[in-house]
Amino acid sequence: MASASHRSLLQCVQEDDDERAEEPTDEDREREKRFQQAEREIMRVLEDSQMDEHVRKRHVMRLFDRFRLEYTHLSVKLRDNLRSQRRVTDKCLQIKNELIMNALKIKTAKQVQDEELKNLTFYREECEHAWKALQISEERERDAMRIIDELKGEVETLQAQVKALTAQSFKSPTAVYFPGSLTLDQQLNGEIAQLPSGYGADSPGATKLKVKKDLAPLSPSKAASPGQGHESDVTFEIPVVPSLDEWKQCTRVWSPHVVSQQRSPTPTRELLTSQESRADAMLRCASVPSLQPSAMQRAITATSPSRRSKPHTSSGDRNNQLPHVQSSAHH
């Protein structure tokens, strides 16, 4: 972008120069006339053969002075043009740097805009997800409240049924058996059969109860009218419920025995004084250097198994054993 702008600026400068060259000003025309007139005079002076040498030289010097003046004017103009060109070049470089900085700013702003758009899309998706989660949680909360209300209604109905049943049980203590249901003695016999061996009717402590049983099961309509039906006395035995230890022993269930924690006896004053005196004696023994044998003494007193097996018969053997003792001490 900066190079294109610089190129366009140079093209504009060249076009201005071309226009100035194509359209000469009055000063240029006047200069052109003076140059042509000086050229004609020089040619006339050089071609005149009758003119004296000194006169010719004066004329030529006068004409060259005119050329010098023109050259001075042209050099001044050239220097001015060079200065203006340098200023234009500096201005072009400054404009180029500004264009580069503006291009970088535009690029940075575009990147920031793209990142902001990405962030906006991300936040929009997060908001949509949060709204969906909120709707789901509200629906679940409504379902939970509905379930709680239903459970409360069921609890109230169950409490009412329990109250009605308790009131009915207080009014009619005898149980009512419907057709097809087990009788009371059949249920008790089944429970007694499920007990382990040794806890039946023959177990010690079993109590005998005597209840009345209808020969035929009562229907709900007949249960309200007492006195109907044949009744008979039935006796059955209820075993004594065993204790936990007896049940474990009968069923061979292993359980860890509870062992009482053994507590150490409380130390007496005599025991404490004896322990202190023993500790002082051990410290005194440790402080005496003569009671602790050194490494050399332990090496001298130590005997190897081979030396223990051989009897000490002569002094020559003792002399032979001295180097062995020294080597062991050295080790």
pLDDT of 154: 93
Instruction: Give Cβ neighbours of residue 232 (< 8 Å, ≥ 6 apart).
Output: 212, 213, 215
Residue 145 banded pLDDT, cuts 50, 70, 90: very high
> Kindly report the CA angle at 211 between 192 and 243, in degrees rounded to 5?
35
- The answer on pLDDT for 300 being more than 80 is no
**DSSP-assigned beta bridge partners for residue 208:** 237
- The answer on pLDDT for 327 being more than 80 is no
CA pair distance 139, 147, nearest whole angstrom:
12
In single-letter form, the type of residue at position 113 comes to Q
The residue ranking higher by pLDDT, 18 or 113, is 113
CA pair distance 46, 57, nearest whole angstrom:
10
CA pair distance 298, 291, nearest whole angstrom:
12
Residues 197-254 pLDDT 10s: 554 444 444 444 444 444 444 444 444 444 444 444 445 455 566 677 777 777 776 6
Residue 118 banded pLDDT, cuts 50, 70, 90: very high
**Average pLDDT value for residue range 266-275:** 79
CA pair distance 19, 21, nearest whole angstrom:
5
Q: What is the CA radius of gyration of the chain?
A: 67
Instruction: Give Cβ neighbours of residue 228 (< 8 Å, ≥ 6 apart).
Output: 222
The tokens 């043009």 sit on which residue?
81
Residues 221-235 pLDDT 10s: 444 444 444 444 445
* Strand ranges for the chain from DSSP E: 207-214, 231-238
The residue ranking higher by pLDDT, 32 or 262, is 32
How high is the mean pLDDT of the chain? 70
The token duo for 80 is 């001015």
User: SS3 letters for 73-105?
Assistant: HHHHHHHHHHHHHHHHHHHHHHHHHHHHHHHHH
- The answer on pLDDT for 194 being more than 60 is yes
Q: Are 229 and 222 in contact (CB under 8 A)?
A: yes
First to last CA, the chain: 92
CA pair distance 294, 329, nearest whole angstrom:
11
Q: Are 188 and 236 in contact (CB under 8 A)?
A: yes
**DSSP-assigned beta bridge partners for residue 119:** none
pLDDT of 190: 65
Residues 42-99 pLDDT 10s: 777 777 767 777 777 887 787 788 788 888 888 998 999 999 999 999 999 999 999 9
The residue ranking higher by pLDDT, 177 or 245, is 245
The token duo for 96 is 């180029």
pLDDT of 191: 61
What does DSSP say about strands 231-238 and 207-214: parallel, antiparallel, or unpaired?
A: antiparallel
CA pair distance 303, 328, nearest whole angstrom:
10
CA pair distance 240, 203, nearest whole angstrom:
8
pLDDT of 252: 72
Left, alpha or beta for 65 (phi > 0: left; psi -120 to 50: alpha)? Answer: alpha
CA pair distance 5, 12, nearest whole angstrom:
11
- The answer on pLDDT for 260 being more than 50 is no
Q: State the DSSP H helix or E strand holding residue 152, giving kind and residue range, or none if neither.
A: helix 53-171
CA pair distance 201, 243, nearest whole angstrom:
17
